[in-house]
């Protein structure tokens, strides 16, 4: 497949043939480990944003956990004011997140041209709190809320993006607090500077306060060329609202930028605040709009004909091994996977025929699952098939690896596995996942 090289030396598929699905466009933005491009869905013509993550840089930077966390978080968030993840693609060197495209760009660029009116500031703050409150209710804390991470769609509605620094409730330590230092200096909460642990929800609301201040004022509340001086201002809560700030807004900002997280305003308290309550309409979401789709088991309940989601399938991709990011390690069972274009029924028949020729017993068989045992009753393998796309399936083989298994592993490795090689789907260079 033809390739192009971007300005950092990264090799990307040519714009006319990105997985045969997307035409790659201009570079929208970049960081140390990822770049974001505009692209067009070839089939629908829809604009999308593609976040390309360099695998080598990711591993060298020790940031595999960031990808794991971002994937885990984005799989559970479905909200009108949060950028939606459409699908995930992978090659040997890169991971691609295909994201909802926010045509209006960053909110930062709009404010940089001039401050917003109080009414417009309130409108965007309502949308921000709607998204942030939704995240918190699902155990997600963004931890890097700033104007650069707030985008606008074609209707000029706000979209929160970039969950790479987010935390989930599972990361909270025994003291009930988070402890990882993170965030952007001008938006960081004072309790993070104190290095004593913090409430993820409270630091998000501090950042929301900084954002609201900038929308109204047109500049940051805490700013200084000397970083330590700026941190001192943040720690002491030293800021001044511009003269055009209304008394109600000034009071509301002071409750957000309260240096004491215990007394800082909560989202529940905001609902009753006179400045915030004006024009606020709570957005309701049904459970099916944010249901987490876990990996489907084909073990006899008919689930094998359902599609796996892209996050589980990343680890199955040819040429890229991210299983350590997405699967829990198993000590007694070895799990192997391959992608096939053969129908589940034909795969089961092939495995069954090969097993019987080697003197193995098929002790259980269903449409998407088969279990094999040796003549002495020792477990040999269980094979499960998951639907990937209309054409492709993922075949998962689980075998015991403990010493009491005996020669059964050799039977699989030396006899059965070679016979199944012809079932393996072998794309030329890439695999589409999602």
Q: Is residue 296 part of a domain?
A: no
Structural tokens at position 420: 């199944």
Tens of pLDDT, residue by residue over 1-10, are: 334 444 444 5
Residues 266 and 371 in one domain: no
What's the total number of domains in the chain? Answer: 3
Residues 245 and 309 in one domain: no
Strands 94-100 and 47-54: antiparallel
What does the alpha-carbon distance between residue 173 and residue 196 come to, in Å, rounded to a whole number? 12
Q: Give average pLDDT by consecutive 10-residue segment, the chain, 434 residues.
A: 44 57 86 81 91 74 67 80 84 83 89 94 96 88 88 93 63 48 76 80 94 96 88 92 96 96 94 92 48 30 40 39 38 67 84 83 79 72 75 76 51 75 62 38
Residue closest to 160 by CA, chosen among 171, 146, 174? 146
Q: Residue 144 catalytic? A: yes
Residues 262 and 155 in one domain: yes
Residues 343 and 375 in one domain: yes
Q: Is residue 15 part of a domain?
A: yes
3-state secondary structure 295-316: CCCCCCCCHHHCECCHHHHHHH
**pLDDT at position 298:** 33
Domain boundary among 43, 72, 100: 100
Residues 96 and 136 in one domain: no
Q: Is residue 351 part of a domain?
A: yes
Residues 316 and 232 in one domain: no
Domain boundary among 44, 77, 100: 100
DSSP state of 174: T
What does the alpha-carbon distance between residue 394 and residue 213 come to, in Å, rounded to a whole number? 51
Q: Is residue 297 part of a domain?
A: no
Strands 379-387 and 369-373: antiparallel
Q: Which residues, including other chains, have CB under 8 Å from residue 294's CB and lie 6 or more apart? A: none
Residues 277 and 139 in one domain: yes
Compute CA distances 269 → 102, 116, 283, whole Å.
31, 25, 17
**pLDDT at position 291:** 31
The CATH code of the domain that includes 399 is: 3.30.310.80
Considering Cα of 423, then 324, then 429, then 86, what sign does the dihedral take? positive
What does the alpha-carbon distance between residue 429 and residue 13 come to, in Å, rounded to a whole number? 11
- Helices 247-256 and 200-217: crossing angle, nearest 10°? 150
Other C-beta atoms lying within 10 Å of the C-beta of residue 247 = 9
Structural domain of 349: 303-423
Q: Is residue 338 part of a domain?
A: yes
**pLDDT at position 247:** 96
**pLDDT at position 172:** 46
What does the alpha-carbon distance between residue 387 and residue 27 come to, in Å, rounded to a whole number? 34
**pLDDT at position 140:** 85
Residues 137 and 67 in one domain: no
**pLDDT at position 361:** 81
Residues 133 and 21 in one domain: no
Among 144, 162, 199, 312, which one carries the catalytic annotation? 144
Residues 138 and 27 in one domain: no
Residues 281 and 388 in one domain: no
Residue pair 105/147 in contact (Cβ under 8 Å)? The answer is no
Domain boundary among 65, 100, 135: 100
Tell me phi and psi for residue 147, to 5 degrees: -60, -35
DSSP state of 283: P
Q: Is residue 144 part of a domain?
A: yes
The CATH code of the domain that includes 247 is: 1.10.510.10
Structural tokens at position 192: 């993070």
């Amino acid at each position: 497949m033809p390739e192009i090289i971007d300005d950092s030396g990264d090799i990307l598929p040519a714009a006319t043939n990105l997985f045969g699905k997307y035409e790659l466009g201009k570079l929208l933005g970049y960081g140390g480990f990822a770049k974001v491009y505009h692209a067009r869905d070839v089939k629908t013509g829809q604009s999308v944003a593609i976040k390309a993550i360099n695998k080598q840089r990711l591993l060298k930077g020790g940031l595999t956990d960031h990808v794991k966390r971002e994937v885990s978080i984005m799989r559970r968030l479905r909200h009108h004011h949060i950028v939606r993840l459409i699908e995930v693609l992978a090659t040997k060197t890169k991971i691609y997140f295909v994201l909802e495209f926010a045509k209006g760009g960053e909110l930062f660029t709009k404010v940089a041209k001039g401050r917003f009116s109080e009414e417009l500031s309130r409108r965007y703050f309502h949308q921000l709190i709607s998204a942030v409150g939704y995240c918190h209710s699902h155990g997600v804390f963004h931890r890097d809320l700033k104007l650069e991470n707030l985008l606008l769609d074609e209707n000029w509605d706000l979209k929160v993006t970039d969950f790479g620094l987010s935390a989930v409730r599972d990361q909270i330590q025994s003291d009930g607090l988070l402890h990882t230092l993170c965030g952007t200096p001008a938006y960081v909460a004072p309790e993070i500077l104190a290095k004593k642990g913090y409430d993820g929800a409270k630091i998000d609301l501090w950042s929301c306060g900084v954002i609201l201040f900038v929308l109204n004022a047109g500049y940051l509340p805490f700013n200084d060329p000397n970083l330590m001086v700026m941190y001192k201002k943040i720690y002491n809560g030293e800021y001044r609202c511009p003269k055009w700030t209304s008394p109600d807004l000034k009071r509301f900002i002071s409750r957000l930028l309260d240096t004491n997280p215990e007394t800082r305003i909560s989202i529940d308290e905001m609902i009753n605040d006179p400045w915030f309550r004006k024009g606020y309409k709570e957005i309701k979401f049904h459970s099916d709009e944010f249901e987490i789709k876990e990996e489907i088991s084909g073990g006899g309940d008919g689930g094998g004909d359902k599609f796996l989601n892209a996050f589980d399938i990343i680890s199955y991709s040819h040429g890229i091994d991210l299983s350590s990011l997405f699967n829990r390690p198993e000590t007694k069972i070895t799990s192997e996977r391959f992608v096939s274009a053969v129908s589940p029924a034909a795969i089961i028949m092939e495995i069954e025929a090969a097993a019987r020729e080697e003197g193995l017993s098929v002790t259980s068989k269903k449409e998407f699952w088969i279990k094999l045992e040796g003549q002495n009753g020792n477990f040999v393998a269980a094979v499960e098939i998951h639907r990937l796309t209309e054409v492709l399936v993922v075949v998962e083989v689980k075998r015991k690896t403990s010493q009491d298994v005996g020669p059964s592993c050799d039977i699989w490795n030396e006899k059965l596995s070679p016979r199944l090689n012809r079932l393996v789907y072998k794309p030329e260079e890439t695999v589409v996942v999602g």
